[in-house]
Chains A and B, each alone.
Chain A
Amino acid sequence: MYNQFFGNYLFSKGYVTKEQLIPALMRQKDEIVRVSTLALYSGYMSPEEIESITNLQLKKDEKKFSELAIEKGFLTQDQVLELLDAECPAFLTLGQILIDNGIFTYEEFFNILADYRSQNEFLELELNANSKDVVQSLIDNFSLLSETSFSSFGKSYLELLFNNFIRFIGDDFTALLPDLCKEFPTECCVKQSINGSYGINTYLSMEKSTAIAFAKRYTGEEYTEFNEFVFASIEDFINLHNGLFIVNASNDHSIELTIGILSAENNSLISFTNRAYHFPVCYPFGIVHFVIEIGNITDSAIL
């Protein structure tokens, strides 16, 4: 779950560029966390000790990291077993990939982790948080990091959106910081408007290969190629999400909104006349782009 924060944190602090972060996020599903990373995270080994063992491994490549660490007295057998049994946070694999890619050294990653821990107290959050709390924190983080103020409706909309991603697609995503956009190049894209006192245009766009994986998760069906059912899954998701939003607006705020007919906006460059926010949501199978263009909102400066 904490990938949702950690990726954003690295990006917003300038530790990684989008170009470095996105391929690393995509590789995560195939990555197994190593003893060295676990030892760093647990505090059993310092970055210098890990570097020394990995350097030693280059010379004695037949030996495992854990064997060499035990030989050097950095780890005990029991500690190795404990590390292998421990439940490891998913974001550690992200750090590990970035180290492997030469973006960080172990020492830099160690310092980043310490900084991240102190700022986010994520250890405590990790043990106690449910999806709802995590999504609320995610939106607050967005607001803080992107210096965007969201209205209560905007917050409700985004909370529901990320909850629906968790509910229908999976919680293994990293929601990158939103950016303001004047234009957006679409791939497989569906548009739907919400009309009324909270009027917005919404777009959901992704590459074909991402759409296939998205549809598999959404429907539970095995799609091997892009077809009309795959595209309909994108339509269905956005329609369902917007439908649920206007039900909530009606039930919780007594505000009656309507949703428009879905339209395909494939492979085009959308130019926005109003303020538009792009929310990239990075799953292991690809990036899902959600765009919200402000239409009829009383305060047009906020979402």
Chain B
Amino acid sequence: MNINDRKVLICDDSILARKQIKDILAAFGDLTILEAFDGQTAIDIYKSQKPDLVFLDIVMPKKDGNIVIKEIMAFNKDAIIVVVSSVGTHTQLKCALEAGAADFIQKPFSKEQMVDVINKYLV
């Protein structure tokens, strides 16, 4: 599949974090970027748009990231979810991976880390 046909959902309550990820994604091509600022909206967008990759924060309004992972995985067991969070404790990491997250990036992230993940799951 051409990169320009790919869809990515960025879910973070911080507009700044969403922008930082969007800016990195923009270098890969004209892909479709979807945004959510809370957990429930992320689930709703996922179900309606079925994006190829999800970047997901953990601490968010309405539903936290762990619940979002579980609900998305229940909807599509092949969903690719990469957690991007400042809360990279062992417990949190275990929780996210057990719920079905494919990867975990600790904030602050570098551009290289993000590019590696995009290459791994999207390109």
Contact = CB atoms under 8 A, between A and B. Distances in A.
Interface of A: 168, 219, 228-229, 232-233, 235-236, 239-240, 242-244, 246-247, 250-251, 256, 258-262
B5 to A, nearest CB: 30
The DSSP consensus for interface residues of chain A is helix
Given A242-B86, A243-B85, A247-B106, A259 B16 contact: no
A219 B17 CA distance: 10
A259 B89 CA distance: 12
Contacts of B88: 243, 247
Nearest to A168: B108
A201 to B, nearest CB: 15
Interface in B52-66: 59-61
B13 A261 contact: yes
A283 to B, nearest CB: 20
Nearest to A263: B61
A264 to B, nearest CB: 12
B89 A250 contact: yes
Contacts of B61: 261
Contact of A239 (B14, B15, B89, B106): B14
B16 A229 contact: yes
B90 A236 contact: no
Interface residues of B, number: 19
Contact of B16 (A235, A243, A246, A250): A235
Q: Find the residue from B19, B61, B86, B91 having the highest chain A CB count within 10 A.
A: B86
B17 A261 contact: no
Given A239-B59, A240-B108, A247-B106, A256 B89 contact: yes
A259 B59 contact: yes
Given A250-B90, A256-B91, A260-B59, 19 more contacts: A229-B19, A232-B14, A233-B16, A235-B14, A236-B16, A240-B86, A240-B107, A243-B85, A243-B86, A243-B87, A243-B107, A247-B89, A250-B89, A250-B91, A259-B87, A261-B13, A261-B59, A261-B61, A262-B13
A246 B108 contact: no
A228 B15 CA distance: 8
A236 B88 CA distance: 15
A261 to B, nearest CB: 5
A52 B15 CA distance: 59
A133 to B, nearest CB: 23
Nearest to B64: A261
Nearest to A192: B59
Interface in B80-123: 85-91, 106-108
A261 B58 CA distance: 10
Contacts of B106: 247
Interface string B1-37: 0000000000001111101000000000000000000
A219 B90 CA distance: 28
Given A239-B86, A242-B86, A243-B107, A229 B15 contact: yes
B14 A236 contact: yes
A247 B87 contact: yes
Nearest to B57: A239
Contact of B86 (A244, A250, A251, A260): A244
Shortest Cβ-Cβ A-B pairs, 3 listed: A243-B86, A232-B16, A250-B89
Contact of A232 (B15, B86, B87, B107): B15
Interface string B31-45: 000000000000000
Contacts of B86: 239-240, 242-244, 247, 259
A243 B90 CA distance: 13
Contacts of B14: 232, 235-236, 239, 262
Q: Find the residue from A239, A246, A256, A262 having the highest chain B CB count within 10 A.
A: A239
B10 to A, nearest CB: 14
A174 to B, nearest CB: 25
A250 B106 CA distance: 14
